[in-house]
Amino acid sequence: MHVRSFQLSDASQMTELLQVALSEECYENTMGPFARQLSWDSDLIMVAEEEETS
């Protein structure tokens, strides 16, 4: 498993994950502050990727 900092290309998958994991109200209340915090500190979110096996 490879762990790295959040990248802009992760945004759509992160949004989809949060939509599934959070209630609609929680999602709506979370996304604005979450995006603002990410713009200040992109290392706030770590992304884990499975390594491809050959």
Tell me the pLDDT tens digit for each residue of 1-34.
999 988 889 989 989 999 999 999 999 999 999 8
Distance CA 28, CA 42 (A): 21
CA 9 to chain centre: 10
Residues 41-46, mean pLDDT to the nearest whole number: 86
Q: Please say whether the beta carbons of 1 and 48 come within 8 A.
A: yes
Cβ 48 vs Cβ 2: under 8 Å: yes
Q: What pLDDT is attached to residue 39?
A: 87
How many whole angstroms separate alpha carbon 27 and alpha carbon 47? Answer: 20
Look at residue 42 and tell me whether its pLDDT is greater than 90: no
| pLDDT of the residue at 44 | 83
pTM value?
Answer: 0.70
pLDDT at 54: 66
- Among residues 48, 52, 18, the alpha carbon closest in space to that of 32 is found at 18
